[in-house]
Homo-oligomer: A and B are copies of this chain.
Amino acid sequence: MRQAIALSAGVLFLTNPNPRVGCVIVKDGQVVASGATQAVGGPHAEVMALRQAQERGVDVAGSTVYVTLEPCSHFGRTPPCVDALVAARPARVVIAMSDPNPLVSGRGVARLRAAGIDVSVPVCADEALELNPGFVARMTRKTPWVWVKSAASLDGQTALANGVSQWITGPQARADGHHWRARSCVVLTGLGTVLADDPQLTVREVDTRRQPVRAVVDTHFQVPETARLFDGGRVLVFTCMVNHDKAQRLADRGVQVVVLPERDGHVDLMAVMQWLGANEFNEVHVEAGARLHGTLLQADLVDELLVYFAPMVLGPGQGMFALPGLSVLGGVQRYDFLAPVTIGPDLRVRARRADRWARLLAAVSTDLSGGHVVPAL
């Protein structure tokens, strides 16, 4: 299963909005074929592995198939994988995560079992979920998995008071940040960042065949048409107002203007996430200023923090999150720290909402096998 999970990690930048899935076929103690889901519209992992077996002249009958997600049982962009598996007659299928969609969860397993195939599920669900939190979030709660990326000094300053920030963290941390952009479906920023830094928000520091969509939260539709963000590729502008001429000019350049309700003087960010979920965006990489970061935190829309700390102390400057002051510690949201690592001279810290992760894990750990259960927590 770990090999199947590694294969799914190999298509981390590729399969969106489909889940990243890996599949390994073992016969007589040997790996005889393997595969991973391809770009959208292309074959899924099971089909890739079965095709490889066929090319190699291996009969899959009697084998054990390891797959990181319950095989699909419906016609989507491709025919159901479960049909291909049933036709291949493996003796056993081992599945990391059950299908997170409550409407179809268990159907793939039931079809396999009805064909006389032994099924074990869930197996290593926690590790497999690391590759697909966005897909599982979208299927279960209808909104994407959202992380906020920030880079700061050890005392939490993203820039000096005068705005100087290039470069607090080093090139290795920036490249790692591009890895997180590359795996996301959409890189989201705020108007303030566009005006201050005019970023491209494209993936440049890691190799990828797919660029994520870029998006800007721009309550009053003030984004300059000259922004580098609009230099090609799909871009979304979330706004509460619309200037039809400007929207038309931008639309001609591949920019979609999405008008959403206002809330507390800015675009309703929950509406942004619901729109993204409804439009098949799995993972949202937020890379903005303290204001948007703080507003997302206050709206309780952040699942994970991705913070790069530079080994320096700056003193008063610009913080990571603009928030109102608290008077008690009681209601503070707590995160789980994931294994911290140094990246070049910098430190990368991931902090994840434990409650939300547990909910995703529960959604993919349905006991469908009458035995092999991975506990949800």
> Which residues of A does B touch, CB under 8 Å?
152, 154-157, 160-162, 164, 168, 294, 297, 305, 307, 309, 311-317, 319-329, 332-337, 339-342, 345-347, 349, 351
Whether the pair A164, B327 counts as a contact (CB closer than 8 A) is yes
Given contacts A320-B155, A321-B313, contact A337 B347 (CB under 8 A): yes
Contact pick for A342, options B309, B316, B337, CB 8 Å: B337
Q: Which one of A161, A325, A333 has the highest number of Cβ atoms from chain B below 10 Å of its Cβ?
A: A325
Please indicate the chain B residues that have their CB under 8 angstroms from the CB of A313 in the complex: 297, 305, 320-321, 323, 332-333
Q: For A339, what are the chain B residues with a Cβ–Cβ distance below 8 Å? A: 342
Give the shortest distance, in Å, between A113 (CB) and chain B (any CB).
41
B319 contacts A161, C-beta separation under 8 Å: no
Complex interface: chain B residues within 8 A of A333 (CB)? 312-313
Known contacts A317-B325, A326-B317, A154 near B351 by CB under 8 Å: yes
- A266 CB, min distance to chain B CBs, angstroms: 18
Copies in the complex: 2
Contact of A336 among B152, B162, B305, B345 (CB under 8 A): B345
Tell me the minimal C-beta distance from A38 to chain B in angstroms: 37
Determine the chain B residues whose CB is within 8 A of the CB of A312 once the complex forms. 332-335
Nearest first, the 6 A-B pairs at minimum CB distance are A315-B323, A156-B156, A340-B340, A311-B335, A155-B156, A161-B325
C-alpha spacing A255/B155, complex, angstroms: 34
Q: Tell me if A349 and B294 are in contact (CB < 8 A).
A: no
Q: Pick from A294, A317, A322, A329 the residue with the most CB of B within 10 Å.
A: A329
- Determine the chain B residues whose CB is within 8 A of the CB of A332 once the complex forms: 312-314
Asked if B160 and A325 make an inter-chain contact with CB atoms under 8 angstroms apart, the answer reads yes
CB pair B329 A164 closer than 8 Å: yes
Determine whether the beta carbon of B340 is less than 8 Å from that of A342: yes
One of B157, B297, B337 near A345 (C-beta < 8 A): B337
| Most chain B CB neighbours (cut-off 10 Å) among A294, A339, A349 | A349
Q: Which of B152, B323, B329, B335 contacts A316 (CB 8 A)?
A: B323
Tell me the smallest distance from the CB of A65 to a CB of chain B, in Å.
36
Residues of B within 8 A of A152 (CB): 156
Interface hub of A152, A311, A339 (most chain B Cβ within 10 A) = A311
CA distance A317 to B262 in the complex (A): 29
Complex interface: chain B residues within 8 A of A347 (CB): 337, 340, 349
Cβ-defined partner of A314 (8 Å) among B314, B326, B340, B342:
B326
From the candidates B154, B297, B316, B323, name the one contacting A307 in the complex (CB within 8 A). Answer: B154
By the criterion CB–CB under 8 Å, are B335 and A325 in contact?
no
Contact across chains for A351 and B315 when beta carbons are under 8 A apart: no
On chain B, the residues within 8 Å of A154 by CB distance are 156, 305, 307, 335, 349, 351
Q: How far is the CA of A341 from the CA of B341 in the complex (A)?
A: 9
CB distance from A151 to the nearest CB of B (A): 13
Contact check, A294 vs B315: say whether CB atoms are below 8 A apart: yes
A321 to B155, CA, bound (A): 8
Residues of B within 8 A of A325 (CB): 160-161, 315-317
CB proximity of A311 to chain B, nearest CB, Å: 4
Q: Are B160 and A309 in contact (CB under 8 A)?
A: no
